[in-house]
Structure formats: C-alpha cells, structure tokens
Structure 1
Amino acid sequence: MSIASSRSRAIRGRTRGGESAVWGAVFAAPQTVLFLIFFLLPVVMAFALAFMEVRPTRMTWIGLDNFRRVFNDPLFGKALVNTSIFTGVVVLFWLGKALLIAYLLDPMNRTLQTFFKSAFYLPAVTSSVIISLVWLWIFNPAFGLLNGLMVALGLQPVAWLGNTQTALPALMAMQIIMGGGSSIVLLSAALARIPRDLYEVAIIDGAKRSTIFAQIILPLIRPTLLYLVVTGTINTFQIFEAVYVMTQGGPQFATTTVVYRIYVEAFQRFNLGLASAQAIVLFAITMVLAAIQFRLMGQNVEY
C-alpha cells in the first residue's frame, strides 16, 4: 500500500513539474519572440550586411571593404574622438557627483533620503528628447536662460551650440547635470549596507574622515563602482538623442558621435552596409573597454 502511494505521489510530482514547465514556457514565449524579432534578428542582419554592398535592388558580397572604409574614414575617426572625450568626461563627473550626493544623503533619515533620491532620479524617467529640447532653449544664443543670466551680469552672450569650442562641452555639461540619478540610488544602497560598527571603530582609533572614506567606504562599494563604470561607459558611448535634437553633429562635426555617424550613413545616405560595419566596430570598442575596466577595477572584488 505504501509502495503504491509513493508511486502515486511521484507520478503527481512529475505531472506538476511538467505542468509548471509548460506554463513557464507559455509565459516566457512572448518575451522570447520579442527578443528574437527585435534584438537577435537585427544583430544577425547587421553582421551579414556589414560584409555587403546594399543597393535598392540587390546586395553584393564585398568582404571586408566596408571595414576598410570605416577605418579610413576621417569623419568616423573624428566621431570616435568626440565620443571618447564625451564618455570619459561625463562618466568621471557622473560618478563623482553620484558618490558625493550619496555620501551626503547617507546620514539623513529615511524620509529625506527618499525625497532627495526621488528628485535626483526624476531625469532618468523623463524623455531624453524633452530634456534635450529644454536645454536647447537654455543654450539658445538669442533668448536662452544661460545667455540671459550672462547679459544680466554684464557679460557677452555666447553661441554655446554654434561654436566649435563650446558645443561639445555644452553637451557634456547637460549630461553631467541631468544624469547620474540611478547611480545615486545604487551608491546609496551600497553605502547603507556598510556596517556602522566599522565607522565607530575607525573613529575610536582616531581615523579621519578622508581615511574612513578611502580605506573603508571605497573598498566596500567597489563592486557597485565597477558596475556603474562599465554600464555608464557603454551607455554614454551610445549617446545619440541629445546630438540629434540639439546640434545635428555640428558645428563642423564638433559634436558628431559614433552613433550619430551610424544614423547618417544608414538613414540619410542609405548606406546600410557601411553603417552595419560601423555598428560592429562600435560594439567591439565597447566590449574592449568593458574588458579593460573589469581587468583594472575587478581585481580582488568579491560579489
């Protein structure tokens, strides 16, 4: 009797397990289909088109010619330099700003922390196009807010987005001011996980604030910093909306970025093969940068 009941329970367990697997597959199917159609398929097509010359009526295999054109294109080189400068400056200031704000929020009570973190996170859930349009008005040379303040102070107005010397720094300033909201939230969570006993022991031992920050806080939040550096670099290297809305890559290609260059080749010149090759080069660059960052910052990091 006991053997029969054991077999019955085993059969019911297998049946329930099979039903769970079926329902799991059913619920996962829509997401899987969307992933295949809107991510995997375009990636495969981009890799294929990178080796072809695409015409309206035919596609011709040309091997590595598109990649040779990418590396011999001075405008792509200019875009790569602009993007590298933009990414390096923005990510550095993003992290510095986020770390400072998170450090200042850490001693506050939960209500104040929630309020300030929500306020700083708000730009992250606001349309980047809307943000770019607002800053386009701020930088307007005729009636923008920034030049209005400068005139009120007796200074000469500046064409911030129309000058090759100021256009890229203006975009950097916008990204630094508006960005970093998610970094603040993550760093605040990382700081909250640090045991308070460590602070108390360090203070009793006579450690200064700078010593506590450098020898206790930074090592313990290093995994979070590594994550933010890698994801921030990848995301910032793909800057597009602000350039498209505010400068269109000008003046004189001073703000042309790699993704904007890909957009021009693909949707203005309809050179899909060259644009795909540029996209693959961008992918390779971001992966190399991520690997270097893991190599430099990921040593002795415990998750």
Structure 2
Amino acid sequence: MAITQTVSSGKKRRIRGDGAWGYAFIAVALLGYALFTAYPVISAFFISFQEYKPLGSEYVGFDNYSATFRDPLFWKSIRNTIVYTILTVPVALALSFAIAILILPLKKRLQTTFKAIYYLPVVASGVAMSVVWLWIFDPLPAGIFNRLISIVGAPNQNWLGASGTAMFSLVIMAWLSSHGASIIIYLAALLGVDESYYEAADLDGATFLQKLWHIVIPFLKPTTLFLLVTGVIGSFQVFQNAYLMTGGGPDNATTMVGLLIFNNAFKYFEYGKAAAQSLVLALLIAGISMFQFKFLGKDVEY
C-alpha cells in the first residue's frame, strides 16, 4: 500500500511538473496576445467613449458612434469595401481553385516550382508590389495596361486617377496577385481526397467535369468555406493597397473602411472616432462571418 501511494504521488508530481512546463512554453504567446491583441481591443472600447487626448481625455458617451453613423464618408467607405469584397473574393477563390486543379496532375518537382512562383507575391514586400503595380497602371503610354489597350486603338487611361477606373484597378490588382496561400491550401485538400472515389467514377464512365462536380467540389467545401470566410475578413480589413496605390482617391472612390479609420486616427487625430469605427467594423465582420457559417456551413463537416 505504501509503495502504491509513493508511485501515485510521484506520478502526480511529474504530471504537475509537465503542466508547469506547458504553461511556461505558452506564456510568451499568451503575453504577446495580451499585450498586442487583448489590451488594444479593450483600450479601443474605452477610447471610443472619449474625446481622447494624450494629456487628458473627456468622456463624451456615444457621441463618437453617432458622429460615425452620421458621417456620409463612413457609409461611402462601407459601400466601397463591400463592392471591393464582392468583386475580389469570389474571383480570387475561383482562380485559386482552377490553378490548384491545373497543378495537381504535375510531377512533384513541378508542383513545388509552381507553388513557389505563386506564393512569391505573398512574401514580397507590399511596398515593392505596389511600386510594380504603379508602373503597370502608369497613365503615360509606357504603362503596361495602356500599351495593351493601345493595340486595339483605345486611348490612354488614367487608371488610378479617375473615379471610374480607380476601384477597378485595385480589383485587377487583387485578382492577379496574392493567391499563393489559397492555392497551397486547395492543393493540400485535393491531395486528401481518396483515390478510390476517382477509380469508382472511372468505372462508371464519369467525365472530368462530372468528377469535379460530384467528388472534388463536395470534398473541398470545408476548405472553400474557410477560404471564403478568411477572404471576406481580409477584404474588409484591406488598407495597404488603397493607401499605397490611390490614397483613397480620387474623390474618395477607393476609400475603404480600414483607410478611413487610419486617416481619422493618425491624420486627423480623432482617436475616439477611429476607435468607434474600428469596433463597428469588428461587429460587422463578426456578423458577416456568422452569416456565412450559418447559411453556407450547414452540411460542412470538419
């Protein structure tokens, strides 16, 4: 009996010791989360009810929220962000899926080469990418897009400087870049489909499109839902493209919510209003994500 108690107490001490090491290993991640995520969110909540000043703030209640909802520019930025999301996310998913399907039959070395090529824009500097796209959209005849349309006799366009083409230019930029992560995720999901399904489909004489519709797409529905939700979240938070390419112009035609919040905080120093707008944006993203999971993820199993 004494030996059993000794062994049991030794196991408990060992388990407690392992647990302590586990908490020690995650302490850095928890500390980083507390400092750079939880604390800023909580601070933003309190700042949204204040006229924030570095040397003393004044409580103003819901004035920042009412000013936000009365601001025509805020609603225009919401509309711009929704238009940008609708035009970019579905097309980006379709392109990533199509490219993954084309890469899948290749040999492993070729697969690795193409994955590296498509993933390169993800790791490249956003500023460097914007410089390249500014050259592509150059309003002078030297710009690549103007050279292309000159082939059919169309006049030069001021792609980023005209209200009618500025948003479309940002959409084209999103269509033709940054698909690397989605392609790799789709490829991983495609490699997880059991070969026996394809073999059974071949025995039944199924065509490529039939196998794509009845096997691949249903199996990849969880992956597609994940990429759709994360894509919408990322699109609603878009800032870099609009800031570096157009600055929100012309006439606020490309002012997104993220850029508006940035300008209010760091250009006009209206920190309370910016905090209120950021929390409204967070609630909007949360609501859209819940809607996607509720209506698009009914029969999705993980």
Which TM-score tier does this pair reach, normalised by the shorter chain?
Answer: over 0.9
Could you tell me which runs of 5 or more consecutive residues in structure 2 were left unpaired when the two chains were aligned. Answer: none
Aligned to 2:107: 109
Spell out structure 1 runs of 4+ moving beyond 3 A: 148-155
Q: What's the offset of the Cα at 1:209?
A: 2.4
* Equivalent position amino acid for 2:50 in 1: M
Alignment of 1:80-91 (within 5 A): 80-91=78-89
* Equivalent position amino acid for 2:91 in 1: F
The 8 Å contact of residues 129 and 242 in structure 1, kept in 2 or not, is answered as: no
Identity, % of aligned positions? 38
Q: Decide which moves more: 59-68 or 250-259.
A: 59-68
SS state at 1:162 partner: coil
String of CA shifts for 1:65-115, please: whole Å, max 9, x gaps.
211111111101111111011111111111000110111122222222121
Alignment of 1:55-74 (within 5 A): 55-74=53-72
1:48 matched to 2:46? The reply is yes
Q: Decide which moves more: 225-234 or 186-195.
A: 186-195
String of CA shifts for 1:143-172, please: whole Å, max 9, x gaps.
433324444665422110001011111011
Aligned to 1:297: 296
How far apart are the structure 2 equivalents of 1:90 and 1:201?
36
Alignment of 1:232-247 (within 5 A): 232-247=231-246
Aligned to 1:281: 280
SS state at 1:159 partner: coil
Alignment RMSD:
1.6
How far apart are the structure 1 equivalents of 2:59 and 2:210?
61
How far apart are the structure 1 equivalents of 2:113 and 2:163?
39
SS state at 1:251 partner: coil
Aligned to 2:171: 172
How far apart are the structure 2 equivalents of 1:90 and 1:151?
26
How far apart are the structure 2 equivalents of 1:130 and 1:19?
49
TM-score by length of 2: 0.95
Alignment of 1:30-45 (within 5 A): 30-45=28-43
Q: What's the offset of the Cα at 1:24?
A: 2.0
* Equivalent position amino acid for 2:275 in 1: S
1:126 matched to 2:124? The reply is yes
How far apart are the structure 1 equivalents of 2:204 and 2:117?
37
SS state at 2:299 partner: coil
* Equivalent position amino acid for 1:125 in 2: V
Could you tell me which runs of 5 or more consecutive residues in structure 1 were left unpaired when the two chains were aligned. Answer: none
Q: What's the offset of the Cα at 1:186?
A: 0.8
